[in-house]
Chains A and B, each alone.
Chain A
Amino acid sequence: AQTVTQSQPEMSVQEAETVTLSCTYDTSENNYYLFWYKQPPSRQMILVIRQEAYKQQNATENRFSVNFQKAAKSFSLKISDSQLGDTAMYFCAFDLNTDKLIFGTGTRLQVFP
């Protein structure tokens, strides 16, 4: 069975600092997609960053970047220059090319001024 594990239930970081959220997953498939979603108190899930498993280059999106280690089945999210608006739940998810997202349990990130 495919699973996603986020081992950090809560994290905190000071404004302008850098924080890394961890994610590991388990699948025997070779072709899949990985995502980080953000869910602020408004509840709406927002895509932060996306990585295709066949691409070796790590995805980046402004202050957000990933460290994708396919052999280790690891997909961590680095947030640089943290901002107060980054405070949210962050979910790691993957998709086996089926339009079915499998989510981790989430990491609650608090950014302090």
Chain B
Amino acid sequence: KAGVTQTPRYLIKTRGQQVTLSCSPISGHRSVSWYQQTPGQGLQFLFEYFSETQRNKGNFPGRFSGRQFSNSRSEMNVSTLELGDSALYLCASRKELNTEAFFGQGTRLTVV
């Protein structure tokens, strides 16, 4: 059974650009969550999607957005990149509420 797949693994972008990160959950999992991990702020929840609907959102500016497709794959988009957006972005999938969250290996985004 394939795990959670995040692409790309590494990304370098320039300030002001936008970026799209992709997450393919484990087959059969309908919930996908996104987290930002930085040395200063630690792990912070971005948003969660279930069956194409955003159910929960963290305290991030509107530059951070996401969506989920009918096959449960999810994308997150960050527009007008800032240096502070440099982070490891982790995606997690769950089969249903309160079950184990399985994480991908993350996308390391560097903004220069």
Are A106 and B106 in contact, CB atoms less than 8 angstroms apart?
no
| A101 is an interface residue with CB less than 8 A from chain B | yes
Give the contacts of B37-55 with A (CB-CB under 8 A): 42-45, 48, 50, 55
Instruction: Closest B residue to A99 by CB, please name it.
Output: B48
| A36 is an interface residue with CB less than 8 A from chain B | no
| A86 is an interface residue with CB less than 8 A from chain B | no
A-contacting 9-mer, from B18-26, B62-70, B72-80, B90-98: B90-98
A99-B48, A99-B94 known; A106 vs B42 contact (CB < 8 Å):
yes
Partner of A91, one of B31, B43, B94: B43
Instruction: Closest B residue to A46 by CB, please name it.
Output: B103
Give the contacts of B81-102 with A (CB-CB under 8 A): 88, 90, 92, 94, 97-98, 100-102
Task: Type the 1/0 row for B13-37, where 1 means its CB is closer than 8 Å to any CB of A.
Answer: 0000000000000000001010100
Are A44 and B42 in contact, CB atoms less than 8 angstroms apart?
no
B residues in contact with A43, CB < 8 Å: 88, 105-106, 108
Roughly how many angstroms separate A20 CA and B46 CA in the complex, as a whole number?
30
Instruction: Closest A residue to B47 by CB, please name it.
Output: A100
Are A44 and B105 in contact, CB atoms less than 8 angstroms apart?
yes
Number of chain B residues close to chain A: CB under 8 A: 26
| B56 is an interface residue with CB less than 8 A from chain A | yes
A residues in contact with B101, CB < 8 Å: 47, 99, 101
B residues in contact with A33, CB < 8 Å: 98
| A15 is an interface residue with CB less than 8 A from chain B | no
| A68 is an interface residue with CB less than 8 A from chain B | no
What would be 10 A-B contacts, judged by CB atoms less than 8 Å apart? A44-B105, A46-B103, A47-B100, A47-B101, A98-B55, A98-B56, A99-B94, A99-B101, A100-B45, A101-B45
Instruction: Across the A-B interface, give the 6 residue pairs with the lowest CB-CB distance, nearest first.
Output: A45-B103, A103-B43, A44-B105, A105-B42, A100-B45, A100-B56
